[in-house]
Amino acid sequence: MRRPIVIGLTGNIATGKSEVGRILAALGAHVIDADEISHRVMKAGGPTFDAIVGAFGPEVVAPNGQIDRAKLGAIVFRDRGALEELEKIVHPAVIAEVDRQIAGCDGVVVVEAIKLIEAGMHRRYDELWVVTAPRGVQIARLVQMRGLTEEEASLRVDAQSPQEAKAAQADRVIENDGEVEALRGKVRAAWTELMAKRAAIGPAQRGDPDDAAAISAALNSNGREKMSFKAWISRHPRLTAWAVLGVGMVVILVWSARNVGLLPGQWATLILSTFLVAGLCVWIIGWEKEDEKEDPAVAGPAEPKEQQPVPDEKQEG
């Protein structure tokens, strides 16, 4: 049996990760929903049930004998240490079950998980695909599909790790900023490219480390190069903003003073000063954003109208 190509698929809340998974499934991929698996391993009799009750107490067990996800969520979303403890219990069981399912597949396997990168699962797969969306689009989707207020939606969006950090690690970034049909077109294009690469790899057999390495190398041979510039921008947002703002301000300066008749030294001083002012502006804006994130009234967990799910529960509309 031919070794499968395994894609790790992730994205923040309301980016459309699950929709991308559905499109890939329609194209022929075998999609493994790691978030759904996390629900199953926490059920009574499952591999993590006893450990969760032991760590968080019998009060997290509902009258029906199952984990009360609302009560557990209320604990872990207010205590970072408790959240990490829960993830230490749940993630290994989820990874083991995902690996078991992958072992029975061929073709293309997509592992979909909101905590894919945080759990380190992406390092086990051939490619990492990250779905992104503009913050305003995320908020609008949450307001429309879940009935949240804009403030509640903003808090949920801002509580997650930055999209830019995830995109910087990706082999492919799919931006979902428009209609579903546009998203389908982007996914189909990515799928076509993936199939072309797979056809060029040859009949690799599962279990052969050399073939596994060859598949990974072939898939990533140009993916990282294509992403290098965008990844650099994602890793250095302030430098990028400084450069763009500085160039824009210099262009405006040169155009406005084109008939003044300045000497070369005066031009150099003005241009340098303009870039320094641009950098100061970017630094001040970034400073203010950091202050907002540190302010629990801005970035702390929302008190939603509905109970928050436990960490690995699917959070997309």
Distance, in Å, from the CA atom of 102 to the CA atom of 184, rounded to the nearest integer, reads 25
Q: Is the pLDDT of residue 310 over 50?
A: no
Instruction: Kindly report the average pLDDT of the chain as a whole number.
Output: 81
| Per-residue model confidence (pLDDT) at position 118 | 87
| Per-residue model confidence (pLDDT) at position 297 | 35
Q: Is the pLDDT of residue 300 over 50?
A: no
Share of the chain above pLDDT 70, in %: 78
User: Which pair of structure tokens corresponds to residue 252?
Assistant: 């405006």
Distance, in Å, from the CA atom of 128 to the CA atom of 171, rounded to the nearest integer, reads 5
pLDDT tens digits, 197-253 = 888 765 544 344 445 555 555 555 544 444 445 555 555 667 777 788 888 888 888
Q: Which of 224, 126, 125 is nearest to 168 (CA)?
A: 224
| Per-residue model confidence (pLDDT) at position 229 | 55
Tell me the chain's radius of gyration from C-alpha atoms.
24
User: Which pair of structure tokens corresponds to residue 67?
Assistant: 């984990």
Range 145-160 burial, b when 16+ CB lie within 10 A, else e: ebebeeebbbbbbbbb
- Please tell me the pTM assigned to this model: 0.65
Q: What are phi and psi of 16, to 5 degrees?
A: 100, 20
Task: Answer yes or no: are the C-beta atoms of 133 and 140 closer than 8 Å.
Answer: no
Distance, in Å, from the CA atom of 298 to the CA atom of 294, rounded to the nearest integer, reads 8
Q: Which of 125, 97, 121, 120 is nearest to 109 (CA)?
A: 125
The more confidently predicted of residues 225 and 300 is 225
Query: Domains plus CATH for the chain?
Result: 5-236 (3.40.50.300)
| Per-residue model confidence (pLDDT) at position 134 | 95
Question: Which residue is it, tokens 């990490």?
Answer: 84
